[in-house]
């Protein structure tokens, strides 16, 4: 399934997470919120995040003038935010009391550039979970082709007062 190909049944099921719920589950805001919607959510298992990449992104004027390419570290951040949505929803985290914190990234590979006009599909799968710590495998796909992949970890922690 492609990011824009939601059937009527999928639009009405609980596995679609729209931007309003993402904003309730993540503390990130513009210009650092890097997920527009999520689909295929399965608690404790997987999620598919969607990011529509536009020329209006704040990093493109400097990366690179005349040849805009989305930085790889921001692709990994988008994967981490997708994983954080999965964690927040699975653990029913309250962002007024808790944060989902990025812990590590391993084996990151960048296979193809992500450019303005692309739709990133961020497939995140849980490798293991122990209490409030999750380890994930994440892939960024553009038009069905692998752009980026990595493993990463995150934890739910108390929000500092």
Full residue range of the structural domain in which residue 34 is found: 15-158
Q: What is the pLDDT of residues 76-110, one digit of tens each?
A: 999 999 999 999 999 999 999 999 999 999 999 99
Q: Please, which pLDDT band fits residue 4 given cuts at 50, 70 and 90?
A: very low
Q: Give the residue numbers annotated as catalytic, written as ranges.
A: 63
The DSSP H or E segment spanning 80 is helix 72-91
Closest CA to 130 of 40, 46, 41, 44: 44
- Domain for residue 80, yes or no? yes
Answer yes or no: is 8 within a domain. Answer: no
Inside any domain, residue 5? no
> Is 41 within the bounds of a domain?
yes
- Cα pseudo-dihedral 78, 83, 84, 90, rounded to 10: 150
Q: Is residue 27 in some structural domain?
A: yes
Q: How confident is the model at residue 59 (pLDDT cuts 50, 70, 90)?
A: very high
Confidence of residue 1 (pLDDT cuts 50, 70, 90): very low
How many Cβ atoms are within 10 Å of 122's Cβ, its own excluded? 28
The residue ranking higher by pLDDT, 13 or 127, is 127
151, burial (CB in 10 Å: exposed 0-12, middle 13-18, buried 19+): middle
Any domain includes 154: yes
Domain count, the chain: 1
Instruction: Give the closest residue to 90 by CA, choosing from 158, 27, 41, 24.
Output: 41
Question: Is the model's pLDDT at 115 over the cut of 90?
Answer: yes
Could you tell me if residue 2 is inside a domain?
no
Q: What CATH number corresponds to the domain at position 52?
A: 3.10.129.10
Question: CB of 10 within 8 A of CB of 37?
Answer: no
């Amino acid at each position: 399934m492609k990011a824009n190909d939601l059937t009527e049944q999928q639009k009405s099921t609980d596995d679609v997470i729209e931007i309003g719920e993402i904003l309730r589950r993540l503390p990130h805001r513009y210009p650092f919120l890097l997920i527009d919607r999520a689909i295929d959510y399965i608690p404790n298992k997987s999620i598919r995040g969607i990011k529509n990449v536009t020329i209006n992104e704040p990093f493109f004027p400097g990366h690179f003038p005349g040849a805009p390419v989305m930085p790889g570290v921001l692709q990994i951040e988008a994967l981490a935010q997708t994983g954080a949505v999965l964690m927040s929803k699975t653990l029913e985290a309250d962002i007024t009391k808790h944060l989902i914190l990025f812990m590590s990234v391993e084996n990151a590979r960048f296979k193809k550039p992500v450019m303005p006009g692309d739709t990133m599909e961020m497939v995140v799968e849980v490798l293991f979970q122990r209490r409030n710590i999750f380890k994930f495998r994440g892939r960024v796909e553009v038009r069905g082709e692998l752009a980026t992949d990595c493993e990463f970890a995150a934890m739910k922690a108390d929000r500092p007062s």
